[in-house]
Structure 1
Amino acid sequence: MKLAALDIAVFAVYVAGLIALALWVSRHDKKEGQNTKDYFLAGKSLPWWAIGASLIAANISAEQIIGMSGSGYAIGMAIASYEWMAAITLIIVGKYMLPIFLKNEIYTMPQYLEQRFNTSVKITLALFWIAVYIFVNLTAVLWLGSLAIQTVSGVDLFTGMIFLALFSVAYSLYGGLKAVALTDIIQVVLLILGGLLLSYMGLDAVSNGEGAIAGFFVLTTELPDKFDMILSPDNKHYASLPGISVLVGGMWIMNISYWGFNQYIIQRALAAKNLNEAQKGIAFAAYIKLLMPIIVVLPGICAIALFPSLSAPDQAYPSMMSLMPVGIKGLVFAALVAAIVSSLASMTNSISTIFTMDLYSKFKPAKTQQHYVFVGRIVAVTSLIVAIVVAEPLLGKFDQAFQYIQEFTGFFTPGIVVIFLAGMFWPKASSPGALASAMGSAIFSLILKLYWPELPFIDRVGLVFLMCLVLCVAVSLVKPDIKENNKSVELNDVSFKTPSNFNIATVGVIIIVVALYATWW
């Protein structure tokens, strides 16, 4: 599929407009100079709408759009569990974790671990996160993003990666997190509008022009199995979404790790004006997550009816884009690229934050604020260059790179969740217990992968979490910290009471999720 001249013009206007907006947003900092709080935490000034939009923009990228549409084509609406369970997870993070993080006035997740445990835990996790963000997350977004661009526009892979990297640098490098977060509202609006338009046109095509509602009834009538939210053991995709475990098992661990302790996600909430704004932003993001399956999963189900003979499920979204008229196709393509570059910008900003604030500033403590900002920019550009160089050698040989990446990160997710939850809510958790949990997560996951290969991935994550929790408790009791000098677990002055608007939003999210599962159980 090729883009027409009008599509290219629409896309070019979007690129130029976004860069201009980012430079305008950063104009105040240009006059007065940026310190680290300005660059890495947007001056602690983000409003709720920017936080919520930026959380979603950082989360949704090409691998989610292309991959989840492909999963909708292959599995059906059950893949939406990742989105709907994430909505409830966001509420939990906003109520119980954000108050602790904001009380401790941290820049990064490793910084919190240093406050709670010691420098060894911080450095170990900081190096781990930098490596994962560069060699897994950043590389995946560049590679899979360029694959998506190649499918739609015909641009070769290397050129696509260069374009994505330059685009993200052009609008985010100078202004830092403020430029990223305040322009993400444009990105998310475009993503939602483009996705809804694609779903509408797909449903209309399914019903032969009788409208979207008629098209939806056609799908639920002719493809009822594609709307089963809880897969039975005899379903060929049961290993990917193992029945009731989706609701009570390892998916909770994966979601809590991603939304609660992932630097390039939680950094938006750390940059809030105050806790109330952060929690409103979290609630806003939760409602957008409830909407996302309509944007990224439903087009894949429509493709079953419209393009039943695709050679690969991941061709579903690009095939659906062929339904778009000239000009509108350029807008939907812009929405796809918006998702990619916002994720790139978020990741590079977080890589530079962790490197600069957790590592470099400790070895070079006497430098100016402007020097640290300069180092952060150098690290951001360097991380992109490294990711471009290693993308094809690391991911080019895998047919399903996204699933491989999920598998890899799942080796470490259970241990990370144990470290944070124990550190936040159990005063006796010790530094040796935290390190044992981190190492045990990888070891337990590898053993189960090798000797119990039929165990579904989500169930393995849940089981390893329990094993790491037992290990952390045992080691902490046997080897307690010598000095109990941390204050991060003193929760007496941390209020978990939330305002009425947050509570109402919470009830709404729960009711909607329960209704969705009750309808398509």
Structure 2
Amino acid sequence: MNLTIVLSFVFFTFLAAFISFVKSSGSSKTTTTDFFFASRTNGYLIIGASLFFSNISSNQFIGENESVYMNNMSVIGWGITSVFAMLIVSEYFIPIYLKTGVMTTPDFLEKRYDKDTKLLVSIVFLFSYIVNLLPAVLYGGAVAFSSMFNVPTFFGISYWQSIWLLVFVIGILGSLYSILGGFKAITISDTVLSTCMFVLALIIPYYGLMHLGGGSVESGLEVLVSSKKEHLNAIGSETDAVPFSTLFTGMIIVNLYYWGMEQYIIQQAIAGKSLKDSQKGIALACLAKLLCPLLINIPGLIAVHMYPSLNNTAEVFPTLVKDVLPGFLVGLTASVLLGAAITTYNAGLNSSSTLFVLNLYKPYLKKKRGVEASEYELVRAGRLFQIAISLFAVFFAPFIIFSQQGFYNYLQKVGVLFTIPIFTIIFLGFITKRVPALAAKAGLVTFIICYLLSQFVFDIKLHFLHVVAIIFCITSLLMLIIGRLKPRATPFVLELNNKVDISPWKNRHYYSIVLLVLMVLIYLVFSPLVLAK
């Protein structure tokens, strides 16, 4: 690691932090709306950047390029098809959240079902974030950064020690953003880093193709598309990373949950100053997702030709970056990688605190005292809670290295266990009016039990996304039967309690059509009909 790389990394990292805190320093952080939702003043540019960069983590830079190198382009299914889910969320989910004035996803469950359902789901959310999201983000960021810069050799320490060191660094930086700067600092940081990432999405393929073509981008592109075409195929078979068939089953469900119900994601959209800004921000994030393969997939394709046999395939992306980019751009890439880990971490930290303070701590104090807690007490409790769970995540994260079936398997299996049961009861709450709270509780328990049995007891010869779709259908059917046998006394009616303007974006449908056409075209290009022919 030369001095230019180090200085460049330090410069860009501190520049992003400086801009974030300067731009957010004048914003109020005295109320829960200020601290957790940036006073609902975010415009569509900040919303789009925050949605996009909160979704991007270091794991994707490393894992998706590795998957393309080892397999093919089928892994783009996670990102590209999320555009379809995001547009559905923009059209149907976000208007419901903003019209009802909810501040957390479980708030809707209280309105739709009852307080017990809200409490139960809030606890599941928190458990998922504290045990799965926050430690996994720290661990993934540490692995990526250690791999990219060979931290053990640089500092003369073991790999295990380097993971501990980097987990602490990412955890401390992420905590400072969230605890001191609040949600406003997080969203501004996302905007700055998204801009840097867009620059890298153009620069890295350019330098990579020029290196591959011996100084000519055109020659490099010709090499890329004329040989080893099996890697260019995004239409995955049943043995590939993402089978094409899963895009129409469990993938839709997972993406709808993630973009429409995951608290740390949805919080970015409902912090908008209007429904129009939220919908425009989501459209902007969709466009960014369509450009994502340039950075998290194309380098893997280039590496297929540059490195025929890498011993450690997890080093595909960092090796390519170090070999083709000038030193100052390597430093910028490292800064974005670190930022990707930090921004997802601090978004999860802020949302965990939001859930705890508004859904658990505030009701507890009211029940205990008989009066509402002050805004000062709630914000203070939020900061203390963030410190506590951050400490837990930092000490827990390094031990993910011992997960028997690997890091990504850990993320997939544990993540679905918590998330899709929540999606099921919220989705049924959206589309039905008579399904009662009893059905929601039964559905939550049923999904968790069935999923645990399918993954850890019975050897089911199906991709886990197909299994998710099957259990979703079973759980939904159970809830509908309960709703038929013991329906709500009165049908659910959506009551307006909006805090912002809820006039929709008039041109949204035209942009949606363009985005969906682009999504299909990307699959068409990376298929046996075109490049993989």
Q: 1:226-255: CA deviations, max 9, x gaps?
A: 12222234xx42xx3223332x21100010
TM-superposed deviation, 1:397: 3.7
- Kindly state the Cα deviation for residue 505 of structure 1 after the two structures are TM-superposed: 1.2
Corresponding residue number in structure 2 for 1:317:
317
The aligned counterpart of 1:161 is 167
Whether 2:70 is the aligned partner of 1:74: answer: yes
Aligned partner of 2:126: which letter?
I
Match of 1:20 among 18, 33, 38: 18
User: 1 CA distance for matches of 2:435 and 2:312?
Assistant: 47
Q: Tell me which residue corresponds to 2:259.
A: 259
Cα distance, 1:84 vs structure 2: 1.0
- The residue identity in structure 2 corresponding to 1:266 is I
User: Cα distance, 1:496 vs. partner?
Assistant: 10
Name the structure 1 match of 2:388: 382
* Rounded Cα–Cα distance in structure 1 between residues aligned with 2:57 and 2:15: 20
5+ residue gaps in structure 2?
152-161, 367-371, 528-533
In the alignment, structure 1 residue 396 sits paired with structure 2 residue 402: yes
SS in 2 for 1:196: helix
The CA distance in 2 between the partners of 1:46 and 1:364, in whole Å, is 30
After superposition, the Cα gap between the structure-2 partners of 1:158 and 1:152, relative to the gap in structure 1 and judged at 3 Å, is same
Q: Alpha-carbon deviations, 1:158-214, whole Å to 9, x = none?
A: 111111112122333222111111221101111222243222222222222210x44
- For the Cα contact (< 8 Å) 1:412–1:441, is it kept in 2? no
Report the alpha carbon displacement of residue 142 of structure 1 after superposing the two structures with TM.
Answer: 0.5
Aligned match of 2:269 = 269
What is the CA distance between 1:330 and its match in structure 2? 0.6
Change (3 A) 1:216 1:434: farther
For these two proteins, the number of residue pairs brought into alignment is: 507
CA contact (8 A) 2:362 2:378 kept: yes
| Alignment pair present for 1:29 and 2:27 | yes
CA contact (8 A) 2:275 2:503 kept: no
Residue aligning to 1:135? 131
Alpha carbon RMSD of aligned pairs, Å?
A: 2.1
Q: CA deviation at 1:398?
A: 4.3
C-alpha distance in 1 between matches for 2:33 and 2:496: 26
**Deviation (angstroms), 1:469:** 0.9
Deviation at 1:263, TM superposition (A): 0.3
Matched, 1:473 2:480: yes
Task: Give, in whole Å, the separation in 2 of the partners of 1:134 and 1:245.
Answer: 28
Q: Residues 499, 391 of structure 1: CA spacing in aligned structure 2 closer, same or farther, 3 A cutoff?
A: closer
> 1:99 is paired with a residue of what secondary structure?
helix
Structure 2 CA distance for aligned equivalents of residues 161 and 111 of structure 1: 33
Partner of 1:10, secondary structure, is helix
Structure 1 residue 339 corresponds to structure 2 residue 331: no
Q: Tell me, in whole angstroms, the C-alpha distance in 2 between the residues paired with 1:98 and 1:123.
A: 22
Matched, 1:300 2:273: no
Structure 2 distance, partners of 1:262, 1:490, is: 22
1:57 aligned to 2:60?
A: no
2:452 aligned residue (443, 446, 453): 446
Query: Structure 1's 387 and 244: CA in aligned 2 closer, same or farther, altered over 3 A?
Result: same
CA distance in 2, matches of 1:313, 1:457: 24
Asked if 1 retains the 8 angstrom alpha-carbon contact of 2:66 and 2:313, the reply is: yes
Per-residue CA deviation, residues 435-492 of structure 1 (Å, 9 max, x unaligned), is: 111111122223333334321111111111111111111122223345x48533899x
Q: Tell me the amino acid that sits aligned with residue 415 of structure 2.
A: T
Distance 1:127 1:471 in 2: 23
Contact 1:413 1:461 in 2 (8 A): no
Are 1:46 and 2:42 an aligned pair? yes
* Equivalent residue, structure 2, for 1:362: 363
TM-superposed CA distance for 1:4, in Å, is: 1.5
Query: Aligned residues: percent identity?
Result: 26
Greater displacement, 254-263 / 437-446 = 437-446
Deviation, 1:399, is 6.1
Amino acid in the other structure paired with 1:4: N
Deviations 1:318-344 (A, max 9, x none): 111222222221111111111111111
TM-score (norm: length of structure 1): 0.93
Q: CA deviation at 1:416?
A: 2.1
Q: For residues 164-183 of structure 1, what are the structure 2 equivalents within 5 Å?
A: 164-183=170-189
What is the rounded CA distance, in whole Å, between the counterparts of 1:460 and 1:389 in structure 2? Answer: 33
C-alpha contact 2:17 2:189 (8 A) present in aligned 1: no
Residue in structure 1 matched with residue 224 of structure 2 by the alignment: 219
Distance in structure 2 (CA, Å) of the matches to 1:496 and 1:101: 10
Query: 4+ residue runs of structure 1 moved beyond 6 angstroms?
Result: none
Tell me how far 1:497 sits from its aligned partner: 8.8
Distance 1:171 1:417, change over 3 A: closer
Q: Is residue 39–residue 177 contact of structure 1 (8 Å, CA) maintained in 2?
A: yes
Q: Report the Cα distance in structure 2 between the residues aligned to 1:369 and 1:250, rounded to whole angstroms.
A: 41
Distance in 1 between residues matched to 2:365 and 2:179, nearest whole Å:
22
Could you say which residue in structure 1 is the equivalent of 2:2?
Answer: 4
Cα pair distance change 1:487/1:447, threshold 3 Å? same
CA displacement, residues 398-453 of structure 1 (integer Å, 9 cap, x when unaligned): 46312221122223443222211111121012111111111111222233333343
Which whole-Å CA distance do the structure 1 matches of 2:80 and 2:403 have between them? Answer: 32
For structure 1, which segment, 193-202 or 435-444, has the greater mean C-alpha deviation from structure 2 after superposition?
193-202
One-letter code of the match for 1:76?
Answer: N
For 1:83, give the aligned amino acid.
G
Which residue identity is paired with 1:458?
A: L
How far apart in 2 are the matches of 1:24 and 1:326? 28
1:11–1:331: 8 Å Cα contact kept in structure 2?
Answer: yes
Matches within 5 A, 1:183-198: 183-198=189-204
Residue 56 of structure 1 deviates from its aligned partner by 0.9
1:147 pairs, out of 143, 154, 173, with: 143
Secondary structure of the residue that 2:237 maps to in structure 1?
Answer: coil
One-letter identity of the residue aligned with 1:87: V
1:120 aligns with 2:125: no
Conserved 8 A contact 1:139-1:387: yes
Matched, 1:424 2:430: yes
Deviates more, 1:420-429 or 1:511-520: 511-520
* Cα distance in structure 2, aligned partners of 1:485 and 1:463: 28
| 1:35–1:370 contact (8 Å) kept in structure 2 | yes
Decide whether the 8 Å contact of 2:46 with 2:191 is kept in 1: yes
Letter in 1 for 2:426: F
Following TM superposition, by how much is the alpha carbon of 1:106 offset from its aligned partner in structure 2, in angstroms?
A: 0.9
**TM-score between the two structures when normalised by the length of structure 2:** 0.91
